[in-house]
Structures are given as C-alpha cells and as structure tokens.
Structure 1
Amino acid sequence: MTATRMITDRYLVGTRLRVRRAERPDVGGCELKLTQKVPAGQPGAVQGLITNTYLSPAEYDLLASLPAAVLSKTRFSVPPLGVDVFEGPLQGLVLAEAEFTGDEEALVFVPPPECVAEVTDDSRFTGGRLVGATRQQLLAWLAEYGIRPSGPQ
C-alpha cells in the first residue's frame, strides 16, 4: 500500500530551518516537526546532517507565525522512493527521492527506468531552493535536462 502525505513546508527566512505540517488523509493524523538540514561535505547521494524535532500544535503554531517561504506538495511513499508532486508555481514538477539506512545502499542504488533525470547533485532541486523558484526559473532548469513540460508554461 502506498502512503500519502499532504505536506506544507515553511522555510524560515534567514535560517536553515524548516517547519513541516504533514497530513495523512489516507489514515488520518498529522505530523508537525521542525527540521534543520546541513548538506553533506561531499557530492553524490550521501546524506548530510538532519535534525528533526517533533512539535505540539502550539509549538507548531508559534514557529509557523515566523516569516517563511511556503512550499506545498503531495508525497507518495513507494519504498524506497518518496515521490513528491508539487503545487503552486512548481505545479507539474515530480521528484522522487530514495531513502536508505546507510551511505553504502545509496551509492549502489539504480533509479527505476521511469526516472527522467538524475538531479541528486543539483542543489536547485532541493526544497530550500525550490521554495524560492519562479515558474520561469523551474522551466529553464528543466530545459537544461532536456525536459519540456506540456501544458501551461
């Protein structure tokens, strides 16, 4: 069974912090957390440092009141992939991210043939960068990979 999450990320202005609200319409419930991501010091599919703090609704509301850039997406969990379908100015963008228990697994992973482009080493496709991207920037970035989306440009 595929798990589905409706995710709203609030990237707090001037920080490396993100406040996330992840709703589970398929089973009910909501996860609230504060995350800090520090990139890995080397290229490739190697995870950096990630710190998560789970929040109460009151803590979330307080942090969510801070100035932030907002990114909305639906995540479908299809192990080992999390497939994100973006909304707003990023509508039409679909990214898949593989999750592993260790770097060794990540280094030998072969993406499924449905994957159109490998963007692991392209920091423009991280949430922290995508949240500030315009539609035109996204289309230009995709064009560099030979991808020309159909529909409204």
Structure 2
Amino acid sequence: MMGRTGGVEGGSIRPGKYSHVERERRFLLARPPEPSTVTVTRVITDRYVMGTRLRLRRADFADGRCELKLTQKVPVPQPGAVQGLITNTYLSPAEYDVLASLPAVLLSKTRFSVPPLGVDVFDGRLQGLVLAEAEFTTDDEAQSFVPSAECVAEVTDDARFTGGRLVRASRQELLGWLAEYGLRPAGSQDPAE
C-alpha cells in the first residue's frame, strides 16, 4: 500500500507531497546546437550512487553559479513520455561534499538550453552523443509536441538512452546503439572495426 507520499504500483504512478510525475521525450541529434541558439550553458557532473536510485548532480553555469542537488527517480515500466516519479532536494556545498563521498559512477556532459529543448553533449567515453530532451507538465503537451528538424530520432522509449543506463555504457556499446539510428560520431570507428 502506498502512503501519503505517492508512489509507483503496478505501472500506475501517483505524485506525492514531495515527488512529481516526470514527463519527457528524448531525441538524438547529429551535432551540438549552433551557439547562436543557446540561451543558457552549464557543465553537469552526475554521480549515480551505487546500489540506489539516487543521483547527485553538480551543475556549473557559465555565469559562475553552481547548483547542487540530490535526485531520486522512480521509473515506471511503460512506454511514452511519463518516465515515473522524480524528487529533487537542493543541497548546500557541505551537504553535497558528504554525499559525494558515497561510491558512485560518474557521467559528465554540457547542457545547452535551446528552448524548448535541453541539449546534452556528452564527454569521455560517451563523446559524440548529443541527446535532447523536452519536459512537459501534462500528457497532452507531451503527445502534441513536434520536435525540430535537428532531432534525428526519438529515443524516449529506448532505455539505453537514460542517464542510469548511459553511465554504465562502454564506448563500443554507445557506438553500436548510435549506428542503429544511422549516426556515427565524427572520428569514431565502427564497433566491429
């Protein structure tokens, strides 16, 4: 039985006092956005805490601001824009430092705001992955959204392109996944080569 804080049960979700329904659609792009289209830039380091559904995020903005937060995502196993429940807690630097000492796997990227999309350009072994997402407050908004021409393929229902899966992906896996969508990052080799 679910308490007053809501939850996920049998594929249906109920927002609670602290969590809300996360609705987003994800798209692959062939290249980063043109600088003239970007309204905000931030460098993001995500720490996926081992053995949990928790993500510790540090976002450093181009203007010098820093945002620190702890996020819990409770996914729902169904196709479509409703991803599950999300809860965010904003942290002080001291709180962040304590939680950053927990064992975690890291994922880094630069996020460019190109309304209505947030476009993530990944670093390290995920270099060449450009993933855009649009967030919505209602199911109708999500269903009626028409992606821009820069969106090569929708991967909303492809769990391989979620942060929790990408953080564990090898370079070879990523290149194979992108090839399935007809994408080959500049300077990359075919996974079979």
Shorter-normalised TM-score: what interval?
over 0.9
In structure 1, the partner of 2:143 is 107
Give yes or no for contact 1:6–1:74 (8 Å, CA) kept in 2: yes
1:9 aligns with 2:46: yes
Determine the C-alpha separation between the residues in 2 that align with 1:127 and 1:47: 12
In structure 1, the partner of 2:182 is 146
In structure 1, the partner of 2:96 is 60
Q: Shift of the alpha carbon at 1:100?
A: 1.6
1:117 aligns with 2:153: yes
What percent identity do the matched residue pairs reach? 79
Runs of at least 4 residues off by over 3 Å = none
Determine the C-alpha separation between the residues in 1 that align with 2:171 and 2:140: 36
Gaps of 5+ in 2: 1-37
Determine the C-alpha separation between the residues in 1 that align with 2:114 and 2:139: 20
The structure, 1 or 2, with the larger RCO (C-alpha pairs under 8 Å, 6+ apart) is 2
Determine the C-alpha separation between the residues in 1 that align with 2:139 and 2:97: 35
1:80 aligns with 2:120: no
Q: For this pair of structures, how many residues does the alignment match?
A: 152
Match 1:22 to one of 59, 65, 84: 59
Opposite residue 98 of structure 2, the aligned amino acid is L
Q: Shift of the alpha carbon at 1:41?
A: 4.2
- Name the TM-score, length of structure 1 as normaliser: 0.95
Q: Shift of the alpha carbon at 1:104?
A: 1.4
Gaps of 5+ in 1: none
Task: Name the structure with the higher strand share.
Answer: 2
C-alpha RMSD of the superposition:
1.2
